């Protein structure tokens, strides 16, 4: 069975990217994928600093995050765009998870050979598109096969009724569900 880890680079509760991610998660489930939705708030990590790691040891939350990543063969990721790139906290979590330690002896070990589907959402006309190139680049360097089809949801605020989780744009909803389903198909 394909085990998918779904998470967003946003730390905000009820973020647009979290809501978009959950629609793609439905696509994973519809085709029989086993999916776990992770909240990065459950893995608080300090700013990565190799000197601190040498003094204090590898962060416990980072190891727990690595364990969850390691237990899945695919990733479904939604990232907001901050100043044209990835949010700093999200990039920090990736940096921690990519590092070798006593448990994971090789850099990128929890990422290598896995498959990912990526998406973003923003209120503007670009839909957060600029962050996807950076996310693709980071994941590719770590040995993740990133699906070529990616989604940037434009004017996302208009596609939900207030803080609701139901998307009112059927075309975008279908695209997101298809992205989740295509991730499962690619891994199979």
What whole-number distance in Å separates Cα of residue 176 and Cα of residue 25? Answer: 8
What's the pLDDT at 176? 98
What's the pLDDT at 110? 97
Q: How crowded is the C-beta side of 120, counted as CA atoms within 13 Å?
A: 26
Contact 147, 185 (CB under 8 A): no
pLDDT band at 57 (very low <50, low <70, confident <90, very high): very high
Q: How crowded is the C-beta side of 84, counted as CA atoms within 13 Å?
A: 0
Residue 107 has pLDDT above 90, yes or no: yes
Buried b (16+ CB within 10 A) or exposed e, 91-108: bbbbebbbbebeebeeeb
| Stretch (H or E) spanning 74 | strand 74-78
The average pLDDT across 67-90 equals 96
Of 177, 180, 157, 183, the C-alpha closest to 17 is 157
Q: How crowded is the C-beta side of 61, counted as CA atoms within 13 Å?
A: 14
pLDDT digit string (tens) for 129-179?
Answer: 999 999 999 999 999 999 999 999 999 999 998 888 999 999 999 999 999
What's the pLDDT at 162? 86
What's the pLDDT at 104? 97
The average pLDDT across 55-75 equals 97
């Amino acid at each position: 069975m394909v085990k998918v880890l779904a998470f967003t680079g946003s730390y905000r509760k009820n973020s647009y990217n979290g809501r978009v991610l959950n629609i793609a998660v439905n696509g994973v489930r519809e085709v029989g994928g086993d999916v776990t939705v992770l909240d990065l708030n459950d893995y608080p990590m300090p700013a990565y600093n190799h000197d601190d790691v040498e003094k204090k040891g590898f962060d416990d939350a980072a190891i727990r995050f690595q364990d969850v990543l390691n237990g899945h063969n695919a990733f479904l990721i939604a990232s907001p765009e901050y100043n044209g790139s990835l949010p700093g906290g999200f990039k920090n979590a990736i940096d921690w998870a990519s590092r070798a330690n006593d448990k994971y002896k090789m850099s990128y070990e929890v990422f290598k050979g896995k498959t990912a589907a990526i998406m973003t959402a923003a209120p503007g006309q670009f839909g957060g598109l600029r962050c996807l190139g950076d996310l693709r680049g980071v994941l590719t360097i770590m040995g993740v096969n990133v699906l070529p089809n990616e989604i940037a949801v434009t004017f996302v605020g208009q596609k939900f009724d207030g803080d609701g989780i139901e998307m009112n744009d059927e075309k975008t909803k279908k695209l997101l569900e298809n992205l989740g389903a295509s991730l499962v198909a690619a891994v199979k």
